[in-house]
Amino acid sequence: MSATPVLASTREELSALLAPARTGGRRVGFVPTMGALHEGHASLFRVAREHVAGGPVVVSIFVNPLQFGEGEDLDRYPRTLEEDLKICEREGVDVVFAPSVEEVYPGGTPQVTVDPGPLATILEGRTRPGHFRGVLTVVAKLVGLVRPDVAVFGQKDYQQLALIRRMALDLNLGCDVVGAETQRETDGLALSSRNRYLDDEQRQQAVALSHVLMAAQEAAVHGVDVALDSARAELRESLGVDLDYLEITDPQLQPLPAVVPDGTEGRILIAARVGPTRLIDNLPITFGTPPEARPAAPTQGDT
């Protein structure tokens, strides 16, 4: 049985709880979340644990109003603190920081925010203007309060992860940023707090997002265009999925040319509505013939 995590709801409580780790020179790991925790979050807590050499793991639970646009799901976003605390306890999280909106934004809506730059104008940024400004602003504030050595984020929010890495570089965030693999249901659906909005029929339909990505992965041996065509063909077969975007980029989310050398790495990303619920997913993708299937280079003596 793990010890119950200590709950802090103010900056002072958080700072007092982390003081012994700071004076003792112990590493601090941090996983920012919006709560409604699931196994995907639990896997992030475990990754954080691997990076702190026995130091404390801090999880924040804060539904950040600044990253929700008008008409988005701020009001109905699931708030499940009691169940969240049970998951944190099971996973051996040391400190849960669950502040109020006033605690995080004591001056009201902030006048100074983080400009996320050009990476926030593509993909999610096109449909959700202002979203990444809100995400980066709150992450910068939370990191400023926790002052972790390492902060862990899921690859499911791939563009968010890329932007947080870029912020860490450009603004000297002072911690390492680690990306952890997406966790999936057995049929492939990526775990997400928003999956709980889906009714049974929508849940069946939602699995299509991962199948579309996998179709591209399988066809990637034939190049970028064929991979994208296969993904689109899979999408046409998928009922109830209202596409926002389906794109293949390089791992830094920059455009890829149609023809790339064997072994080129990329990322395929999708966003779609299933019923009223907007879901996102992505997968790594490698183009061309895999090294093990390439003909061996002729060695000396071969004719």
Contact status: 157 vs ligand PAF (CB under 6 A): yes
State phi, psi for 251 to the nearest 5 degrees: -65, -20
Alpha carbon distances (Å) from 69 to 34, 107, 131, 241, 247:
16, 20, 7, 22, 23
Q: Candidates 132-140, 210-218, 264-272, 287-295 — which segment interacts with ligand PAF by CB under 6 A? A: 132-140
Alpha carbon distances (Å) from 71 to 68, 74, 75, 128:
8, 8, 10, 11
Provide the 3-class DSSP secondary structure of residue 128. Answer: coil
Instruction: Supply the minimum distance, in Å, between the C-beta of residue 67 and ligand PAF.
Output: 6
Contact status: 138 vs ligand PAF (CB under 6 A): yes
Contact status: 34 vs ligand PAF (CB under 6 A): yes
Longest dimension (CA), the chain: 77
SS3 content of the chain, % helix, strand, coil (to 5): 40, 20, 40
Token pair for residue 288? 């061309």
Per-residue binder mask for ligand PAF (CB under 6 A), 182-201, x = binder: --------------------
Provide the 3-class DSSP secondary structure of residue 67. Answer: helix
Instruction: Supply the minimum distance, in Å, between the C-beta of residue 218 and ligand PAF.
Output: 29
Instruction: Supply the minimum distance, in Å, between the C-beta of residue 134 and ligand PAF.
Output: 8
Which member of 64, 159, 182, 183 binds ligand PAF (CB under 6 A)?
64
Cβ proximity to ligand PAF: between 160 and 249 the closer is 160
Which member of 14, 21, 30, 32 binds ligand PAF (CB under 6 A)?
32
Q: How many CB atoms lie within 10 A of CB 89?
A: 15
Contact status: 179 vs ligand PAF (CB under 6 A): no
Q: Which residues bind to ligand PAF, rule: CB under 6 A? A: 32-34, 64, 67, 135, 138-139, 157, 160
